[in-house]
Amino acid sequence: MSFDVLLFADEKASLEGSTIRLYGVSMLERHLRVFASLGAGSVTVVCPSGDTPEALREHPDRFDARWLASLSAVVYAKTDDLGNHNFSAPCLLADAHHLYDPRLVEAVIAAGPNTALADPQIGLSRRLALLDAGTLKRLVSSEMSASTLWEQLEEMSPVLLRRLNIQTINPYIVNLRRTLPPFWLPVRSAADAHAGEARLIDAAQKGALDWPAQYVHPPFENRLVRLISRTAVTPNQVTVLTNVVAFFATGLLASGLLIAGFVAAALVGVLDGVDGKLARVTVRCSRVGGQVEHILDIVYELSWYWVLGWVLSQSGDNGTWSLALSGGVTVLYFAGRAATGLFKLRRKVELFDYTALDRAFRQISGRRNIYVPMLLVGALFSFPLTAFEMVAAWAGVTALFHWIRAVWLWRQPPENLHAAAYSGEAAS
């Protein structure tokens, strides 16, 4: 559905809040990026009457245009001009100093015109609504402030303005494999900005991970995201750096420097989580970039196993056994991915996060972050071939487990497992 936006920055709190930066992005630009990502047409930033405040003179042309290209226009309008504004499409109403979880905006848009976000405990003070052009024209007077408009909406009959209960919005995020209630936060001070950044980085964290990615990597990832977000470095540039380090690790391994190679590979485990988090907290997610990243992830990880197999075949008396291990790990890698990929295709949710049993196994399942420490220990204590054999064996256990779970769960009626999925309850 096409829609336009009225973003209110006409009062002291919303005006000052619109300029506050979270992870290097002003609230105003953050809103524009979110609206663009959701398919908005034009965005009208509503300013106080009189001269446009200095704080709002940062024209969108000075923003990062790559993430605003889909917007047809971004204009400023004063409150006393709204009565003359030509409303033709459904219009999303929002306050510039409110940090909205994008899922809330999506939910209001999906509900259709004449819908307002509401919480039974606090009414419409979350200040997010979608109105059709006719309703908005009837509400807007010759001089209309955000407060006046929201007061009118609060008084409207539920017959004329549907209330979308925030508590009814599905809190489960399939792509992040976790349950997270949608959040909303007014940002009016440095303390609010700090709280907002905490919300954003928490919402950027994936769930159902192996134990290094869940417990070891996040503090390092979050610190790097905070530092990088204050610079001009983009998520795609972080992806490039990650791949440079990854293939440098391949080169170290090929040179026989196994310890250094696996230390570099361990560093990749941390860097690999930074680009995605940086993209999510700064609203710079790219579908193409994500797909390229996943392809390169596969290429460089498998290159480590094949180079290791080749080095071990040259330096010992095991003949082609180590190369056979490389081939075995590769086959089992794709076998496991086939099971989890087909399961997600059929059930629309990750197998890793389907039940408590699957989440528990995910912590230790055969993944890059599990294999690299095993191989590093093997290199440190001079048993790299044995460590590689252990990796191959665990890859087999992992693939077998995933296929058994996938086939068994496919045979169960989805409704019988619905309560167990995503809830932490085991469906055995």
- Which domains are assigned to the chain? 3-172 (3.90.550.10), 207-417 (1.20.120.1760)
Residue with tokens 């970039």, as numbered in its chain: 289
Q: What is the pLDDT of residue 140?
A: 80
Number of other residues whose CB lies within 10 A of the CB of residue 66: 11
d(CA 140, CA 255): 71
pTM: 0.89
User: DSSP characters for 63-74?
Assistant: S-GGGTTT-SEE
Q: What is the pLDDT of residue 426?
A: 36
| Strand 115-118 to 128-131 pairing | antiparallel
Residue 24, token pair as written in the block: 């290097």
d(CA 164, CA 116): 6
Question: In 3D, which of 193, 162, 194, 169 has the Cα closest to residue 183?
Answer: 169
Number of other residues whose CB lies within 10 A of the CB of residue 59: 9
The secondary structure of residue 384, as a DSSP letter, is: H
The secondary structure of residue 181, as a DSSP letter, is: -
**Residue 276 C-alpha from the chain's centroid:** 7
Q: What is the pLDDT of residue 427?
A: 35
d(CA 268, CA 274): 10
3 backbone dihedrals φ, ψ, rounded to 5°: -155, 155
Question: In 3D, which of 221, 219, 198 has the Cα closest to residue 273?
Answer: 221
Q: What is the pLDDT of residue 2?
A: 87
Question: In 3D, which of 99, 353, 69, 37 has the Cα closest to residue 210?
Answer: 353
Residue with tokens 């995933």, as numbered in its chain: 402
d(CA 358, CA 425): 10
Q: Which residues pair with 93 in a beta bridge?
A: 6, 129
Q: Which residues pair with 118 in a beta bridge?
A: 165
Residue with tokens 């693939």, as numbered in its chain: 399
Question: In 3D, which of 9, 196, 38 has the Cα closest to residue 107?
Answer: 38
Q: Is 324 exposed, middle or buried (0-12, 13-18, 19+ CB in 10 A)?
A: middle
| Strand 184-186 to 172-173 pairing | unpaired
Angle between helices 258-271 and 235-254 (to 10 degrees): 170
The secondary structure of residue 126, as a DSSP letter, is: T
Per-state percent for the chain, helix, strand, coil, to nearest 5: 60, 10, 30
Q: What is the pLDDT along the chain (428 residues), one digit of tens a residue?
A: 789 999 999 888 888 899 999 999 999 999 999 999 999 999 989 888 766 666 565 555 567 777 788 888 888 888 777 777 788 899 999 999 999 999 999 999 999 999 999 887 765 566 899 999 888 888 886 556 777 888 888 888 888 899 999 989 989 998 898 999 999 999 999 999 999 999 999 999 999 999 999 999 999 999 999 999 999 999 999 999 999 999 999 999 999 999 999 999 999 999 999 999 999 999 998 777 778 888 999 999 999 999 999 999 998 767 789 999 999 999 999 999 999 999 999 888 899 999 999 999 999 999 999 999 999 999 999 999 999 999 999 999 999 999 999 999 988 876 554 444 554 443 33
d(CA 97, CA 17): 4
SS3 assignment, position 123: strand
Angle between helices 384-410 and 287-315 (to 10 degrees): 140
Q: What is the pLDDT of residue 53?
A: 60
Contact 425, 359 (CB under 8 A): no
Amino acid at 337: R
d(CA 284, CA 287): 10
Contact 247, 300 (CB under 8 A): yes
Q: What is the pLDDT of residue 38?
A: 92
Residue with tokens 């848009």, as numbered in its chain: 109
d(CA 340, CA 352): 8
Contact 235, 279 (CB under 8 A): yes
d(CA 367, CA 372): 9
